[in-house]
Structure formats: structure tokens, C-alpha cells
Amino acid sequence: MAMSMGFILKNLRPTCRIARRCLCSNARDDNVTFPELVFSGIQPTGIPHIGNYFGAIKNWKKLQDTNDRVIYSIVDLHSITVPQDPAILRENILSMTACLLACGIDPDRGILFQQSQVPYHTELAWILGCGCTLSRLEHLPTWKEKSAEMKDAMLGLYTYPVLQAADILLYKGTHVPVGEDQLCHIQLARALAKIFNNRFGHYFPQPEALLTEAPRIKSLRHPEKKMSKSEANPKSRIDLTDTPDEIIKKVKKAVIDSDTQITYDVDNRPGLANLIGLECAITDKSPSQVCEENCTIMSGQYKLKVAGLLVEELNPIRLQVERLLSDRHHLSSIIEKGRLKAMDIAEPNIKEMKSLVGFL
């Protein structure tokens, strides 16, 4: 039996008021009640690393295990905001599917689908975009940050937050697990839902962010920066398909300071703090507990301990990914089943929206 969203929020330990108040502010507005539905997406830009795993995918599994209405999307439309090799993109979609399944995402307990296979995402994005001003998008910090790095920024990069809102609202999503860097996009989705509702009637819920105490895993080579697939040095990250030897070598090479004592200091000892954060993510212990338990060993020994914990956590996932990727037909069939389940929700919803707008 599915447990209440209150149970979910308690177990995911929300860290700010927006997540805690969702039960009293989201479910009812203008006497319209929306069933709780969790929606989230992940881009197929290669094998996920441990930052993706501890920061998002493990929480996805918790939500799946405690709620019977969850939808997870492989958002391939978002991935082409930067150029993609078609052959590599196709491979990445299958690899991401395999990784999510290997991490415990169960397509029989929710919906796992490929975004581009449901055409109504882009259709709704156009409808919502026609109610969105340029200034609202220009003020999004993600646009400012990413466009500053480009000589000629692409339109897709500018408008993808509208598509992100459409992803959520197409299914009347009520709760969206995100990191703090995505809060502005949830606020945009709420604003666009309100604009639509004010004009055509109360059709959309006000989606709420589910903020959790997910660890922010840092680069092993530059611990002041977030772990990223875009960093050129592969030793900066640990991928879910890394072998035990690769994991051990990368952790042994992780940049830390010269002090051999195990203490947790994010500002002054970011490299060691990152390793302590990894142990916390695996064991659910606090940094103070980890430091107390490891007070008799030196940092070099501690690296080996963390590497061992990572191998124990990730090796079963790696083996399962390899097994799943050996049967591409099975992966394709799971994606197709997910498409059909997503369409069962999306198609009647878009018809209602189009009727409200005046298209039907």
C-alpha cells in the first residue's frame, strides 16, 4: 500500500520551508484538488556519476518506494540544447535506461519513459510559452550563466525552462524532487500554471519542489567545484560503471590537503569534506559520526576506506548495467511500455488543454 506524501517528505528530510509547506498549500486551490504525483527528469548525457546517483537517483527510488504515482523521464529533448552526435545520443538513452533500472527504478511501480516519444511535451511548451514574457526568462540565473559562456546562445537554451514546466504540468505533477539550483525553474512552472489557470480556469496544480538533504558531491580533482560530466579529466568523477580498480585509483588520487587528521571542514578542507560526504551518503551517518569513528586513522587510510565503501555500493549496479545493456531489445521494450503509459495520461490532458485554449 502506498504511504502518504507526508511520510515521503519526512524520510527525504526536506531542508527548506517550500518543501514542508507543500501539503497545506499545494493540494487545494479554488476548491480544486489534485492527486499527488511526483515527476522528475534526467538528461541522457552519458553514464551517470556518483553525484547524479547520490543527489538524485537514490531519492527517486525512495519516492517510488513510498508513493504509487511517480513519473520519471529521460529528457532527451533537453539534451540537444547543446550539439549531440545522433549515434551517441541513441546509445546514451539506452545507457541511462539501463542505469536507472540497475539503481532500482521499477517501471512496473511507476512510469519510466523517453521524453521525445510523447509529442505533447513540445505542444504544451508552445502553449505555455505564449504566456511567458522574455524578461521572465532573461532573469533566470541558468540562462545568465550558460549564455555568458557562448558567443551565440541558442534559442533552445533560452526556452528550455518552459519545456521543463511543460514536462511537469502535462501530467499535472504536484511534487518535483530537485536541487536548489533548479528552484527558479519550479517557480517558473508555478507562474506559468497560474497564468494559464487565470485565463482558462483552474486546470493545473501549483507544483512544489521536494528539496532533500542530498549531498553535493564535488570533483575529486577540484573539490571546490561540483562533480560534472563536462569536466575533461575523467579522474574528477566516478561513474556508475567504473570497475573496482578504477574507483580505488580515482579515490586514491583525490585532491586533499596535507593534514592527515580526519576532520570535517567544508571551507578549509573541501577535498576531505567531500570524501566524508561520500561516506555519509552511503551509510546515512552524520559528518561528526564519521570523524569520530575514523579519528585513529590517517587521511591516506581513510581514502582506502571510502573507496571500499564505494566499490561495495556501486559494483552490483555496474554488473546489472552490463547485464541490461547486453539485451537492447529488452531495454527498448521497457521504453516503449513507458511511452504507452505516459501517453495514457498525456493524451487526454492535452486534449482538455487544447479545448480550454480554443483549439478544439
Residue-level pLDDT at 1: 38
Q: How many CB atoms lie within 10 A of CB 340?
A: 12
- pLDDT for 148 equals 74
Q: For residue 182, which of 56, 352, 346, 7 has the smallest C-alpha distance?
A: 56
3-state secondary structure 244-260: HHHHHHHHHCCCCCCCC
Boundaries of every domain in the chain: 5-215+328-357, 234-324
Q: Per residue in 94-112, pLDDT tens?
A: 999 999 999 999 999 999 9
pLDDT at res. 6: 42
> Of the listed 58, 62, 146, 341, which one is catalytic?
146
337 is catalytic: no
Q: Taking Cα atoms as reference points, which of 252, 221, 246, 268 lies closest to residue 314?
A: 246
Please, is 228 exposed, middle or buried when counting C-beta atoms within 10 Å of its C-beta (0-12, 13-18, 19+)? middle
Listed residue (210, 204, 220, 243) closest to 303, CA to CA: 220
pLDDT of residue 211: 84
- Per residue in 313-357, pLDDT (tens digit) is 999 999 999 999 999 999 999 999 999 999 999 999 999 999 999
Q: Of these residues, 172, 194, 229, 285, which one is catalytic?
A: 229
Active site residue 226: yes
305 counts as catalytic: no
Q: How confident is the prediction for the chain on average, in pLDDT?
A: 90
Query: Is the per-residue pLDDT at 68 higher than 90?
Result: no
Rounded to two decimals, what is the model's pTM?
A: 0.88
Evaluated on CA atoms 289, 293, 295, 300, the torsion sign reads negative
Residues 6+ apart with CB under 8 A from 61: 103, 104, 105
DSSP 146-167: HHTT-SS--HHHHHHHHHHHHH
Domain covering 5-215+328-357 in this structure, CATH number:
3.40.50.620
Return d(Cα 2, Cα 148) in angstroms, integer. Answer: 45
Q: Residue 138 to residues 143, 188, 346, 353: CA-CA distances in angstroms?
A: 7, 12, 29, 27
Q: Using only C-alpha atoms, what is the Rg of the chain?
A: 21
- pLDDT score of 64 more than 70: yes
CATH 1.10.240.10, applies to 234-324: yes
Q: Indicate whether 12 pLDDT > 70.
A: no
Q: How confident is the model at residue 32 (pLDDT cuts 50, 70, 90)?
A: confident
Write down the catalytic residue from 226, 305, 337, 341.
Answer: 226
